[in-house]
Structure 1
Amino acid sequence: MKLAYFVSKEDISLMKYEALCELAFSLDVKDMPLRRDYSSYINIMAAKEFITCISCYLENHQRNDLSQSPYLALMINESTDRVLEKHLIVYASYLNKDGLGVSKCEFLKLILVADGYAQTKYNAIMNMFSEMSLDIKHLVGISTYGDSSMLGCHEGLVSKLSRDVPNLIDVHCVAHREALAIVDACKCFPCLSYVDKIANKVYSWINASNVRHLDFQKLLQEMNLQVLEVLQIHDVRWLARGNMMVRLVKLLPPILTFWKCQAPMWYEKLCIFKVLFCIFKVLFYVADVLLELDGLNKIFQKESIDITSFSTSIEVCLNSLKKKFLGDIFAKNTIYLKLFIENAQMGYLKHVNDNGEEYTHTLLYVSMPSKDKNGFPLDIQDGSLNTCIEMAKGFVLKVIDCVNARFPDMYFFNASKLFSPMYYLSEEDERVRKTIIWLSRFLTRIGNHVINANGCEKELKAFVDTLYYGCEETFPNLLKLWQILLVLPISSVPCERGFSKQNIIKNDRRQHLKVDTLDMLMRISMLGPSCDLVNWERIYDIWEKSKDHHVADL
């Protein structure tokens, strides 16, 4: 027999809150084996009440931690879910109350918004601060994905918040910026759009027919190649282009062989040397370039990014591109492009399987047959190797320029090295000079009303020596600057993970979940600790005080 409500505190101790969530809403986002049937204790209403109490318990803990942190920062993103509801997801970065030097990044709130206007978002954020009894003056930074409603210079969300919090540090998500830099570079080479067209044609042609798909899989087996699926380019996914190009590299021999028999018109276009070079420049070459940039993007997507090493990661990536493509030896130490150039010296591509069977394809040294919307050719140069190499070098230079243009605030991230002794120079005078420059950049960006600039300058020499030599001192002003740096977010990637979690919970069979319930389930899923660490007595008290309850008879 089901009970309407929990009978006693002893029943509470029997309940595992993960199991309760699974029973009530089929919440499949955690490993939640059911060791016994709890359905005899509850019905759906009791489960929802209990979920509300768990969420309230977790929210109270988080609110207490946030109130004790001297500074906090927000990561904000918006999305439309599967039932076309607009949501604003908010994450908070703050200092752990257990000690200095430890910051936390946690899901804070899922908010239903009526539209995408900046004023609507601003009102939602201010209401959230009011409901959680948080001081807006503690807000020091905000990271967004960078659209005009967020970063508009006059009426964007950041501009509106800056009126309440002067010198608020706004950061356009570095992962978004890095992806946009690649898009900017590609726009300067219109012929590359033809390569995207070919790549997507491969995907659509093979996958549009079940027969062709099966025949292609058989061909892969005959050529003793790993059976893989062709991927499609997704413009909204950061790593989609790089992953697709690398996959196309591996599948190029069977694709050429397949099209040679079944799609001779497309086969002829794919055999053009310049197309292949761009598929070995956007495929073999950009498989090399994109492998570098995808590696950089993966660094930006980590759970926590060391802000002191952020600028170094970009510098290392760009220097690697320069060495590989702009040095004396073109394609030096590349994985794919060098191999392609070597194989193409004889004017054809050849693949030999394990049985000794050869698959040969003759290359055509002509320009790309690509045209713009007005019918004018996008590629007017010849298809020789030297022309392709010069185009490749120009593309790398453009990528580097676009990355630098997308990160005009690199000076600020470089200045964060002040708090990482690994970047200190060994010569004392140079070390002092460098750290003074870093400090001045920080103070210029953050402002004197937050940090005592004179106090920081007085403490700087002793502070740097403390970090460098391992001495012990007290530096109240510089420690405040350090705290700001610790909570400052440089990406909104956690928000993307939050929306992924949202889509797992609010699936096709539960698409009528209200935003309040969805918010609670996301909080439990992402913030819920181990059952052994939960204060079940406190959760029971929250439930008991929520309203009058009537215990059903057994």
Structure 2
Amino acid sequence: MPPKRKHQKLPSEQTILKFFGNEHDSGDGGDKSHGVDNDGVDSECHHEKQNASSGCINTGKTLKFQQSWLTKYAPWLRHDAENQLMYCSVCRELRLDNAMAVGTNNFKTTTITRHITSADHQRSVAAPFEQKNLKAAVSGAKSKEERAIVTCLKVVYWMAKEGVPLSKYESLLSLLSDLNTPNVESLSVNNHVTYASYKSACGFLDAISTTIDRSVTETLHKSPVLTILTDESMDTAVHNKLCITARVIDPHTMMPATMFLTDLRITSATGKGIFDAIQGHLAERKIPIMKVSGLGTDGASVMTGRKEGLTGQFLKVNPHIINTHCSVHKVALCSEQAADQVPGMKYYQIILESIFYYFKKSALRVDNLSAVQKLLNEPTLKCREVHQVRWLSFFQALEAIYRTLDSLLSYFSTASDAKAQGLKKKIGQDFFISITYALMDILQPIMKMTLFFQRKDIDIGSVQAVIDSCIRDVRALLEPEVDGEGLPKPTFMHQLKTHLCDGFFKGNHAIKKSSFSFEKTRVDFIKGLIDNINKRFPDKQLMTSMCVFGMRPVTFLSEEELSEWGNESLDVLLDHFAVDKSHTFKDVSGQKTSVSPAIINREESKKEWTKLKQVVRVQGYPRHSTSALWGLVQQYHSADFPNMLKLASLVLTHPVHTSDCERAFSAQNLVTTPLRNRLSAEHCDRLMRVMIQGPQLTKFNFNSALIEWRGQKERAIFRQKTCTDSC
């Protein structure tokens, strides 16, 4: 029985996958031919077709392959010298079913020329170009869909960054479509899938937040140590929220950074409840709690308590933990407590509050005051409220009074109501006017120090210098108001002598005497302020001792001075980090003691410190930045100063303040508003993460967010395209 004739595939039966070089079994006896048959048209001779399975032609003559053919018919002609065959490489690559694809010993020029003119060979030669064009077309089509999703990601990112509710996403996307924004039209898969809904926006936000959060987790794992900055508050929806941020350091560059971790909703605001929330969050990121070397808090007892407070809970795990009271809070307490000790200052604060509440709920009074301010060419300012929890509020209220005092006196002089007349008597006294000018002098250096401590990444080497400068400037106000050449100092008190004279203020308002002594009030407040600053920022505490790691004056010291410089501060640090620490506490099972071994070696650290001072001095390393200095030490001397580098990591991550938590609460108030008070805790956390931790729009890696979004589940927009391509 003659063999069955093989089915010849028509060109229309071929799949697009052929052009990508994919292999598929035909299933008919192992024949893997995927070539395009041409039904005998322009095919090679019939006797070669029938012998294609063996590739050999029995001519009765011995034919030889001409080596010159390899050059003439390059690059596709090949010679198999071992099996004495010649074949076409491009046809074989596509697994076509012809003699030259399998290989033939019919070494004739006519064999080669017939193959060149065959349809099989011509398609094989053109296939790589068609394959390349097709890949480019498919890739371009996919990129168009991806670009459309990236556009959505950018829209959601911008909205979260600017605090725009995601409920406006559909409207904003519609606007972009009306403006013919590229790629937006590709979002519509069908009537039901358009990626323009609030749910889609939440999905995009989740992908963006996850991308940012993954980067944060990677940074936390790389950092050898970290410190936690935390504070708790109540949002607009009356939920207890706990903000957690972290100070980390790059072990290669010694560059510290502050990172937002989360804004949790908590049910227990006790020390144990806060500790469990922090520990649970770190566990989710697979960060061991022992990696935490310090705490930054607002100084509340629930945070600082060494028994049941948050600090006590951490001490049970790591006795080396350092709890640092936020420096900005301490500066505010210095001013507040110094004022509370002086009767005249308490009286002055009462007057400031009375002025604010007089204008607070009366639009008519505010308008009349504004008219007087414009008439007298003074700035149009409103009286400010003094908030106990806002660090700059007192100075802002004071500054508004100082800049519009003439207008206030004029307004109260013309107002006929009893409250206005009562305030006119109080602010129309020499004490009120004089103390206003004096406080503008006194609080200037305090505000400078407050603003310094609110910086995101403070250089620890500058802390002591800023504190000393503040004390020096405040103390100078107690000295005679003349400079070294006997000229009046350019202070607000100097202005007072020209504004308040002969019983009149600026020559227009008659001023009465007060029962309070201005000079005694001023001196007592200044002395109380200096004493409070010295108590809250002592020279021998850990934070101020850390300032020596800035090594600012090493090039200005003699050899003898250099040998002694910084040793005392180093001893303070070694007394904590170079000794074993233990903490005894009680739990339900009785009294227990936790122990933590020394982090660094004391004697080796002293030797390294002595050597390091000489190295920094001789090498002339720049010391304008503490982290930059230690980056150089890490880069060039890491083997020489292992203990110092460990200590430097602890110093550079030390939590000087918790201003980042306060900034997070400001972001929280922008997200959770009275109109958006039903947002879930998770959604609020994602929005805050983008707003706080997300980089600028132009610097964010949207490709990573796109990969994250696509990986969450199968997406219809890409599934539809895949189906179209495979059809």
Superposition TM-score tier, normalisation by shorter sequence:
0.7 to 0.9
> How far apart in 2 are the matches of 1:207 and 1:441?
51
Q: 2:599 aligns with which of 450, 454, 459?
A: 450
1:406 aligned to 2:536?
yes
Q: CA contact under 8 A between 2:298 and 2:325: conserved in structure 1?
A: yes
Deviates more, 1:534-543 or 1:309-318: 534-543
Question: 1:57 and 1:328, CA in 2 relative to 1: closer, same or farther beyond 3 A?
Answer: closer
Q: CA contact under 8 A between 1:29 and 1:525: conserved in structure 2?
A: no
Question: 1:268 and 1:533, CA in 2 relative to 1: closer, same or farther beyond 3 A?
Answer: closer
Q: 1:82 aligns with which of 214, 236, 241?
A: 236
> How far apart in 1 are the matches of 2:369 and 2:700?
54
Consecutive unaligned residues in structure 1, runs of 5 or more: 1-6, 352-359, 368-382
| Letter in structure 2 aligned against 1:212 | R
Q: CA contact under 8 A between 2:227 and 2:292: conserved in structure 1?
A: yes
1:339 aligned to 2:488?
no
Residue aligning to 1:318: 471
Residue aligning to 1:361: 509
| Letter in structure 2 aligned against 1:479 | L
1:133 aligned to 2:133?
no
> How far apart in 1 are the matches of 2:389 and 2:488?
31
| Letter in structure 1 aligned against 2:523 | K
Cα distance, 1:50 vs structure 2 = 2.4
Cα distance, 1:418 vs structure 2 = 2.7
| Letter in structure 2 aligned against 1:259 | F
Deviates more, 1:204-213 or 1:309-318: 204-213
Cα distance, 1:141 vs structure 2 = 1.3
Residue aligning to 1:93: 247
> How far apart in 1 are the matches of 2:609 and 2:165?
48
Deviates more, 1:160-169 or 1:440-449: 440-449
Deviates more, 1:129-138 or 1:445-454: 445-454
Q: CA contact under 8 A between 2:338 and 2:529: conserved in structure 1?
A: yes
Question: 1:450 and 1:9, CA in 2 relative to 1: closer, same or farther beyond 3 A?
Answer: farther
Residue aligning to 2:255: 102
Deviations 1:111-158 (A, max 9, x none): 111132111001001101111001222211111111011001321101
Cα distance, 1:509 vs structure 2 = 2.5
Q: Secondary structure at the residue paired with 2:655?
A: coil
1:438 aligned to 2:561?
no
Q: CA contact under 8 A between 1:151 and 1:157: conserved in structure 2?
A: yes
Q: CA contact under 8 A between 2:256 and 2:652: conserved in structure 1?
A: yes
> How far apart in 2 are the matches of 1:494 and 1:233?
22
Written as runs of structure 1 = structure 2, the 5 A alignment for 1:53-92 is 53-92=207-246
| Letter in structure 2 aligned against 1:431 | L
Q: Secondary structure at the residue paired with 2:286?
A: coil
> How far apart in 2 are the matches of 1:77 and 1:545?
35
Residue aligning to 2:523: 393
Cα distance, 1:534 vs structure 2 = 5.0
Residue aligning to 1:257: 410
Question: 1:528 and 1:481, CA in 2 relative to 1: closer, same or farther beyond 3 A?
Answer: same
Consecutive unaligned residues in structure 2, runs of 5 or more: 1-140, 178-183, 189-193, 580-597, 621-635, 722-727
- Over the aligned positions, Cα root-mean-square deviation in angstroms equals 2.8
> So what's the TM-score if we normalise by structure 2?
0.66
Written as runs of structure 1 = structure 2, the 5 A alignment for 1:261-272 is 261-262=414-415, 263-272=420-429
Q: Secondary structure at the residue paired with 2:369?
A: helix
Cα distance, 1:411 vs structure 2 = 3.6
Q: 2:377 aligns with which of 212, 224, 247?
A: 224
Deviations 1:444-501 (A, max 9, x none): 1334311122221121221111112217643111111111111111100011111111
Cα distance, 1:439 vs structure 2 = 1.4
| Letter in structure 1 aligned against 2:680 | K
Cα distance, 1:234 vs structure 2 = 1.7
Cα distance, 1:393 vs structure 2 = 1.0
Deviations 1:497-525 (A, max 9, x none): 11111111222322211111111121122
Residue aligning to 2:627: none
Cα distance, 1:408 vs structure 2 = 3.8
Deviates more, 1:188-197 or 1:336-345: 336-345
Q: Bigger radius of gyration, 1 or 2?
A: 2
Deviations 1:15-53 (A, max 9, x none): 2423024579984399x9989345754122222222212
Q: CA contact under 8 A between 1:324 and 1:332: conserved in structure 2?
A: no
Residue aligning to 1:518: 684
Question: 1:540 and 1:213, CA in 2 relative to 1: closer, same or farther beyond 3 A?
Answer: closer
Q: CA contact under 8 A between 1:88 and 1:110: conserved in structure 2?
A: yes
| Letter in structure 2 aligned against 1:69 | S
Of structures 1 and 2, the one with the larger relative CO (CA 8 A, separation 6+) is 1
Residue aligning to 1:172: 325
Q: Secondary structure at the residue paired with 1:36?
A: helix
> How far apart in 1 are the matches of 2:317 and 2:561?
39
Q: Percent identity of the aligned residues?
A: 22
1:156 aligned to 2:305?
no
